[in-house]
Structure formats: structure tokens, C-alpha cells
């Protein structure tokens, strides 16, 4: 009668503080260069060593340039942060995949692909998109830097147990509709705070039929509904994905692991604090029109009218549209676009590059478009080349950059200029997210590809 979340959470409880949070054991801590330096500093000031260094993996991803990674990073402040992570990892005895290491990439892409993120685990990182690893059947969530320090010091974290929510999605996804559209659709229905305080289990045949890459995209965006995290019970698709990966269990240990992982599902009579049902048939290619990820609509729909917005939200709604240069009631199909970004922990995996390549194959990049195609990791980059997607993309006028978070949050040089429109496969359209004044329209790799070849917002179903 337990939910899967209860099973994993309860197994990791070290103790419950009376009238307080739970002390939870953490199986995996990932560290990147932006949210870890102050935690390492704190450890030094307290004179502490990492309690379980073998459970911690570090890699730079936010500041890394997407070209010339073999040369010193031009921005001295970025370089210092990247170097600081390498030095800290060395000092504290932690695994570190530096820039140009064949294992480097965005931490949320690398964790699953190396078999470091496994079913039943508790996984944290000083990064809200840690929810991504939930696709492996793990309880994974983002934390602050003080909490990173807690885990370094004790391999534990103090957390309030979130409430449970199950989102069931059933039905077949239509042509041109991807996991990203499912997530954007859910966000538009739930708003950015609709799942705050909850941990989501995604279920239903639509989710079961998704590849691991699609599941990673779906779970990645759980935080954009405010959820602590989102995950999917592991199944044969999960086991098939993990098998043979570098850190996956091998031999007899593999058999034992799989038989345990097969028990990781919510009981048939499990009761959730909240349960929601959605039909995949209703989901279209979806885009955002505003400045938070919950402001989304079907690509052929119109921006809401002011009268449709509750009064307390109108000031924010109008501020948002003013920033974007859009008006209430406007349709966005045909609106000119300046930049296209394919990548990020949301859509920087091999399947995303396959989708993008499938649409642009035999077509040409529009002259007016600047396109940044950034693989999520060097492993993705290698697979792109093995599958020959690089040639398809090159023939259509696209080049592939080097891995990292890139224009998702513009901490490196990949900044969208003020006032320019970017169709982006990343996760956030907040004001200034892709650079000061940048105007972001979140979308799937197919919608991004359609914009890249037509130079405007285009329903991919019309040119597939």
C-alpha cells in the first residue's frame, strides 16, 4: 500500500528529528562548478573531510565554452570557477571529469549515461534540474549550497518529506509531439507552482512507451511545476538502458540489482496525496509565450486575453508580455525568430539530435537564423558522429559545438542579444535567462528545427 516514493524515501531514513525534518541518506552527490565552491570553503573552515568521497562526482558544465575547450577559458572569472572545482575535487579526493575529459558533459546528461544514476537511489546536486535522474527510478532533487555542504560532511541531508502526486498520462502521442511537448503541456496546465511541495510519479501508457531519453526530458522539467522532483518506476526499458554502462552493476551483481529494481513500483492500492490524469491525444507541439515555463500554449493557439488571467496575476502577465514584445490574444505562428538553441540537460541527448536532424534533413538553415547545436556530453557528441547525424546537419548548414550548459543560462559566451527571439530546447524562459534582454520561446527539438529552417515559428507537423 506504499507509493514507490515512500519505499525509496523510507529505506533511506537515518532518523526523523522530532518536530523537524528527516535525516536522509544520500547515495550520490553530483557537484558542478557554480554551486559547490562555497560548500568546499565551508568544509575547509570547519576542518572537515568528505564523509563518503566515493559517493561524490564532480564536473564543470555551466561555464564551459562550447568551442576551443582545449584552450584556456577566455573569461577569467569562469576559468577561476572551473579551476576551483578541479582543485577542490583533488583536495577532497573526489572523482572529477574536467573539460575535454571524454566523460565530461552536463552533469544531468552524464550521470545516467555512465550508469552512475541507478534505480532506487537518492541523488542530489546543487542544481534544480537534478530531477532529471528521476527517469532512472531514483529519488533525485535539487538542493542549495548549504545542503551540498551537509552531504559532503555527512552523506546525509535534512529534508521535510514532500507529499506525493501521481500524474497519469495515457493515449498515443500524435505526430510531431515529443516528451518536451508533454512537459510543456503539463506545465501550462499546472503552472510553475502547481506541484510545489510534491514529489511526482509519472505513470500511464504514454510514459511507459517513452524511451529513456524522453523520460529524462520529462523528469527534467518537474521542477518547472514547482515539484521537489519527478520520477518514473523502472522497467525493462530502464534496465536495457543501464546494462553495460561503465558504472552499472556487472555479472551476479547485475542479476541481483535487476531483481531488486523490479520491486520498485507503487503498490496497486497505493494512495497519493494528489492524482491527476491527462490524455496524450490532447497534446500538440507546445511553445511558451511568456517569461515563466508555465506560460505555454499549443503552437497553433493564441496567447490568453487579459480577461482570462486572474486579477492578482495580471501585473505579472502584462510585464511578461511587454518583455517578450507580444500582445494578449496574439498568435505566434509565423513570428520571426533570430536564434535557435538545441541542447541543455532538457534536450541535449542523442534522441534530440536525431529528431532535429530528421526534420532538417534535405532542407537548409534559414540565412537569418543563428543556430547553436550543443550536445549534452562528449558521449552524445561521439554518438552523433557514429550515426552520421553530423553529416546530415552539416549538409543542412548546421555545425555542432562542444558540450556544456551553454545558452540555457548563458554563463559562458553563448548569450542571446537583448531583444532577440530565441527558440530554445532548454528549460527556462525567465527574463534574461539566455542573456540580458533575451526573449526565449521554449520548445521541442522539432519545433526548434522547424524554426531553424523557416526562420520563424512554424508548426513542425506542416513540414515533416
Contacts with another protein in 197-236 (CB under 8 A)?
A: 197, 223-224, 226, 228
Which member of 170, 316, 331, 383 binds another protein (CB under 8 A)? 316
Which member of 34, 107, 324, 452 binds another protein (CB under 8 A)? 34
Contacts with another protein in 420-439 (CB under 8 A)?
A: 428, 430-433, 436-437
CB of 394 to another protein, least distance (A): 31
Which member of 93, 244, 313, 325 binds another protein (CB under 8 A)? 313
Binding mask 104-133 for another protein (x = CB under 8 A): ----------------------xxx-----
Under the binding rule (CB under 8 A), the answer on residue 95 touching another protein is no
Q: How far is CA 259 from CA 233, 252, 263, 275, in A?
A: 14, 11, 7, 28
Which member of 61, 113, 149, 352 binds another protein (CB under 8 A)? 149
| 350-360 helix and 445-454 helix, angle to the nearest 10 degrees | 30
Under the binding rule (CB under 8 A), the answer on residue 247 touching another protein is no
CB of 46 to another protein, least distance (A): 7
CB of 93 to another protein, least distance (A): 18
Which member of 100, 281, 394, 418 binds another protein (CB under 8 A)? 418
The span from the CA of 8 to the CA of 27, in Å, is: 11
Binding window for another protein (CB under 8 A); candidates: 150-158, 178-186, 252-260, 273-281? 150-158
CB of 90 to another protein, least distance (A): 15
Eight-class DSSP state of 74: S
List alpha helices for 49-121, DSSP H.
76-92, 107-113
CB of 54 to another protein, least distance (A): 12
Under the binding rule (CB under 8 A), the answer on residue 31 touching another protein is no
Of the pair 55, 335, the CB lying nearest another protein is at 55
If phi > 0 it is left, if psi is from -120 to 50 it is alpha, else beta; for residue 44 that is: alpha
Which member of 18, 70, 269, 367 binds another protein (CB under 8 A)? 18
Under the binding rule (CB under 8 A), the answer on residue 189 touching another protein is no
Cell, residue 332: 505566434
Neighbour order of strands in the sheet with 139-142: 95-96, 56-58, 28-31, 122-125, 139-142
DSSP assignment of 254-272 equals HHHHHHHHTT-S--TT---
In terms of Cβ atoms closer than 10 Å to its own Cβ (0-12, 13-18, 19+), residue 322 is exposed
Q: Which run of H or of E encompasses 200?
A: strand 198-203
Contact 406, 374 (CB under 8 A): yes
CB of 322 to another protein, least distance (A): 13
Under the binding rule (CB under 8 A), the answer on residue 328 touching another protein is no
List alpha helices for 176-306, DSSP H.
179-190, 205-208, 212-220, 236-242, 251-261
Residues 6+ away with beta carbon under 8 Å from 49: 43, 92, 93
Contacts with another protein in 264-303 (CB under 8 A)?
A: 292, 294
Instruction: Name the residue with cell 518514473.
Output: 232
Binding mask 63-92 for another protein (x = CB under 8 A): x-------------xx-xx--x--------
How wide is the angle at C-alpha 221 spanned by C-alphas 218 and 224, nearest 5°? 150
Cell, residue 187: 506545465
The span from the CA of 30 to the CA of 25, in Å, is: 14
Under the binding rule (CB under 8 A), the answer on residue 312 touching another protein is yes
Binding site for another protein (CB under 8 A): 11, 14-15, 17-21, 23, 25, 34-35, 37-38, 41-42, 46, 48, 51, 62-63, 77-78, 80-81, 84, 126-128, 142-147, 149-150, 153-156, 158, 160, 162, 192-193, 196-197, 223-224, 226, 228, 292, 294, 312-313, 315-316, 319, 409-411, 418, 428, 430-433, 436-437
Amino acid at each position: 500500500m506504499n507509493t514507490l516514493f515512500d519505499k525509496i524515501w523510507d529505506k533511506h531514513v537515518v532518523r526523523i528529528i522530532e518536530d523537524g525534518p528527516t535525516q536522509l541518506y544520500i547515495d550520490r552527490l553530483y557537484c558542478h562548478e557554480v554551486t559547490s565552491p562555497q560548500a568546499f570553503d565551508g568544509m575547509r573552515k570547519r576542518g572537515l573531510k568528505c564523509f563518503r568521497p566515493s559517493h561524490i562526482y564532480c564536473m564543470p558544465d555551466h561555464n564551459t565554452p562550447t568551442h576551443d575547450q582545449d584552450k584556456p577559458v577566455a573569461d577569467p572569472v569562469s576559468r577561476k570557477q572551473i579551476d576551483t572545482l578541479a582543485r577542490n575535487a583533488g583536495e577532497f579526493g573526489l572523482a572529477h571529469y574536467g573539460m575535454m575529459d571524454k566523460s565530461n558533459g552536463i552533469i544531468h546528461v552524464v550521470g545516467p549515461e555512465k550508469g552512475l544514476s541507478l534505480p532506487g537511489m537518492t541523488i542530489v546536486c546543487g542544481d534544480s534540474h537534478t530531477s532529471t535522474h528521476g527517469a532512472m527510478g531514483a529519488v533525485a532533487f535539487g538542493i542549495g549550497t548549504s545542503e551540498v555542504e551537509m552531504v559532503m560532511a555527512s552523506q546525509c541531508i535534512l529534508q521535510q518529506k514532500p507529499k506525493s502526486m501521481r500524474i497519469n498520462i495515457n493515449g498515443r502521442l500524435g505526430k510531431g509531439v515529443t516528451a518536451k511537448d508533454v512537459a510543456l503541456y503539463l506545465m501550462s496546465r499546472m503552472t510553475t507552482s502547481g506541484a510545489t511541495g510534491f514529489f511526482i510519479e509519472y505513470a500511464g501508457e504514454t510514459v511507459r512507451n517513452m524511451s529513456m531519453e524522453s523520460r529524462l526530458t520529462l523528469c527534467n522539467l518537474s521542477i518547472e511545476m514547482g515539484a521537489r522532483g519527478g520520477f518514473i518506476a523502472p522497467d525493462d526499458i530502464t534496465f536495457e538502458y543501464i546494462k553495460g554502462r561503465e558504472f552499472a552493476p556487472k555479472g551476479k551483481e547485475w542479476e541481483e540489482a535487476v531483481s531488486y529494481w523490479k520491486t520498485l513500483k507503487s503498490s496497486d492500492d497505493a494512495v497519493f496525496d494528489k492524482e491527476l490524469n491527462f490524455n496524450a491525444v490532447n497534446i500538440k507541439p507546445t511553445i511558451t509565450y511568456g517569461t515563466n515555463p508555465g506560460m505555454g500554449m499549443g503552437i497553433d493557439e493564441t496567447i490568453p486575453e487579459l480577461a482570462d488571467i486572474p486579477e492578482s496575476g495580471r501585473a505579472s502577465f502584462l510585464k511578461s508580455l511587454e518583455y517578450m514584445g507580444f500582445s494578449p490574444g496574439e498568435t505566434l505562428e509565423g513570428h520571426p525568430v533570430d536564434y535557435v538553441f538545441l541542447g541543455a540537460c532538457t534536450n541535449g541527448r542523442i534522441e534530440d539530435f536525431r529528431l532535429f536532424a530528421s526534420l532538417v534533413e534535405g532542407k537548409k538553415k534559414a540565412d537569418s537564423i543563428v543556430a547553436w547545436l550543443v550536445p549534452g556530453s562528449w558521449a552524445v557528441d561521439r554518438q552523433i558522429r557514429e550515426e552520421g547525424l553530423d553529416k546530415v546537419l552539416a549538409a543542412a548548414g548546421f555545425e555542432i559545438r562542444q558540450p556544456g550548459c551553454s545558452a540555457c543560462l548563458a554563463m559562458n559566451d553563448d548569450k542571446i542579444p537583448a531583444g532577440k527571439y530565441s527558440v530554445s530546447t532548454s528549460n527556462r524562459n525567465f527574463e534574461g535567462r539566455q542573456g540580458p534582454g533575451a526573449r526565449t520561446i521554449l520548445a521541442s527539438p522539432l519545433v526548434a528545427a522547424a524554426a531553424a529552417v523557416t526562420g520563424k515559428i512554424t508548426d513542425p507537423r506542416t513540414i515533416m
